[in-house]
Chain A
Amino acid sequence: MQKQLLAVENLTVEYWTRKGKVRAVDDVSFSLGKAETLGIVGESGSGKSTLGLSLIRLVPPPGRIVKGHVWLKGKDILKLREDEIRNIRGRRISFVFQDPMTSLNPIKKIGEHFIELIQTHEPNVSREEARKRAEKLLNDVGIQPERIDDYPHQLSGGMRQRVMIALAIALNPYIVVADEPTTALDVIVQAKILDLLKDVQNAYAMALIFITHDLSIAIERCNEILVMYAGQIVEYTNIKEICKNPQHPYTQGLLKSIPNIELAEQKLEGIPGSPPDLLNPPKGCRFWPRCSYAMEKCRKAEPRLIETLTDHLVRCFLYGEARDESN
């Protein structure tokens, strides 16, 4: 599944804590084409946010990227100098963070955020010109341009997230990474923000990496889904396959936990247990303690990520050659 825009290869990120190394992202590979939308789905602690941040080398200490490549248009981001990577941040890959309430500098007016961003990357642009661009961007995300002189606390959560989106698209990046952009918002605003993301993505022809814990949102909005569990990819495929043919027991569990409006009386099935402690993950498959299909083999060996169908990768002994071996 090699695509031209972004290719992540064997990316491994560890947090070197006092208690030991925690492998938050374990050998993750994926790729992204122009204007595509990739959903990264997982529980809290599954490493999805760390994965997002490592794309622009902003894993907070004590985290470090220990292995792998992040190819952006053929250039390895992980090998760039500090000033080169700064040029990528915000200009080629930009972020929309989870908490809009604190993602804007409280003592800077909305317009100042745009002016600083634009002038950081395009020093020749004058303040007035940057301001004009900011007004247009605000208009594009559905905020009256007059609000440009407001302070962040004068805007509601939804409006602040719109501002964050406007900032993310300001320099026309290749990729926008939205890290749980709607988690802090109520459901109505959530839907509007998601629609807005879709609209600007289409208008600006950007690729979108959508990080969420909510598989239903990802299914609704993405072309491809990458399901993460305990730092590893457990399933990686397109949207059709996920709905019709979810293979990994974890993905199946996530799907069963989505309420269905058409079934009148329906009991939601959860996944028992909680995600493993990554300081000492379970031996074998990381999901086996919670898996209803767990076999003897799952406790001993770690399954590899295998391609069961075209464009469908799964990390489970139930499928492919791995199953044949176990029989």
Chain B
Amino acid sequence: MSKPAVKRNMLSRIIPAIGSLKERGLSGWLVILGAAIVTSIILMTLLAPWISPFDPTTKGINVGAPLTPPNSKFPFGTNDLGQDMLSRVISGGGIMLQVAFLSVAICLAIGVPLGLFSSYIDGMFDRSICLIMDSIYAFPGLILAIAIAAMLGRGVVNMALSIAVVYVPSYFRVVRSQVLSIKEMPYVEAARSIGAKSRTILFKYILPNVVPSIVVVATVNFADAILTAAGLTFVGLGVEVDVPDWGWDLTNGRRLLPSGAWWVITFPGIFIILLALGFTLMGEGLSEILNPKVGE
């Protein structure tokens, strides 16, 4: 009964906010741009089987001469196996997006409740969780992700897990610090003074007020997750070679670069950057939209 009410409020705040984005000048346009980039890349990946001119997997070997430079038949050229790079770029985002969404979902599911309870309960519990989180945070992110991925092995879920471990502390920190200040707010005290239970206070007063920050962290985290996923495939800890993936094409392209085949590495690289950029732009602007006071 209470949950739909919260959702309805969130929606009613987001929808009119999008309409008013244009009135916010540069930052509003950047959000629209970011959302447009992300949506079109997702669409492109979803529609890949129908729109890519050639098969991007090993079935598409030797559709053209190996290492053909970009021309009218192969706009992005071909790689050393004679596969069409355009087709590989069109479908190559799939793994990365899956990994990014999955890892953000895992981070949300672990980092948010942990931060919420830790700072609400306080005391020794809070101290020990903080210590664990800080020690994870102290590792260089990519190195830790590589280490975990090496232990877990290949595959989308394993990649997502190893990325999630690295980014859970960011969620935890943001949520915890927000809760620390929100739980001292007069309206929380007011809620107690009308007889609200701890559960109500936590989920109806504190959590909804943390949501805007969580959304921002999550969007920025998408960009990080994509770059880390690219890094994991780059060092060979991603998915099977046969699956088209931008990260794998980067590794492959690096090898071919000395021979002058710049197109193999450039186009997947551009798309990784575009996707990361799109999420970052969205994140910047969403923080403004989700603040109810800006919607005035």
Which A residues are closer than 8 A to B by beta carbons?
56, 58, 60, 86-91, 94-95, 97-99, 102-109, 112, 116-117, 120-121, 151, 153-154, 164, 167
Contact = CB atoms under 8 A, between A and B. Distances in A.
Given A56-B193, A90-B195, 10 more contacts: A89-B192, A89-B193, A97-B189, A98-B186, A105-B191, A106-B293, A108-B204, A120-B196, A151-B292, A154-B296
Which of B185, B192, B205, B296 lies at the interface centre, i.e. has the most chain A CB atoms within 10 A of its CB?
B192
A99 B296 contact: no
B209 interface: yes
Contacts of B139: none
Given A99-B186, A120-B200, A107 B292 contact: yes
B195 A104 contact: no
A146 to B, nearest CB: 17
B75 interface: no
Which of A58, A109, A120 lies at the interface centre, i.e. has the most chain B CB atoms within 10 A of its CB?
A120
A153 B151 CA distance: 51
Nearest to A60: B189
A167 B194 contact: yes
Contact of B209 (A97, A106, A164): A106
B187 interface: yes
A259 B5 CA distance: 52
B72 interface: no
Contact of B195 (A87, A103, A153): A87
A94 B187 contact: no
A106 B195 contact: no
B262 to A, nearest CB: 51
B24 interface: no
Which of B186, B187, B209 lies at the interface centre, i.e. has the most chain A CB atoms within 10 A of its CB?
B187
Contacts of B209: 105-107
Contacts of A164: 190
Contacts of A90: 193-195
A104 B194 CA distance: 12
A119 to B, nearest CB: 9
B155 interface: no
> Interface size bucket, B side?
20 to 34
A106 B186 contact: no
9 contacts: A58-B192, A89-B194, A89-B195, A97-B189, A102-B187, A106-B187, A106-B209, A108-B204, A167-B194
A88 B195 contact: yes
Which secondary structure dominates chain B's binding surface? helix
A261 B187 CA distance: 38
A153 B190 CA distance: 17
A64 to B, nearest CB: 16
A106 B295 CA distance: 13
B191 to A, nearest CB: 7
B190 to A, nearest CB: 5
B281 to A, nearest CB: 25
Given A89-B194, A90-B194, A97 B204 contact: no
Given A91-B195, A107-B209, A102 B185 contact: yes
Contact of B187 (A60, A86, A91, A105): A105
Contacts of A99: 186
B9 interface: yes
Nearest to B187: A105
Contact of B186 (A91, A103, A112, A116): A103
B119 to A, nearest CB: 14
Which of A99, A107, A112, A153 lies at the interface centre, i.e. has the most chain B CB atoms within 10 A of its CB?
A107
A5 B185 CA distance: 31
A103 B293 contact: no
B73 interface: no
A86 B201 CA distance: 13
B293 A153 contact: yes
B186 A120 contact: no
Nearest to A99: B186
A104 B193 contact: no
Contacts of B293: 106, 153
Contacts of B296: 153-154
Contacts of B192: 58, 89
A109 to B, nearest CB: 8
A117 B204 CA distance: 12
B194 A107 contact: no
Nearest to B196: A120
Contact of B190 (A88, A95, A112): A95
B3 interface: no
B53 interface: no
B197 interface: yes
B153 interface: no
A88 B195 CA distance: 7
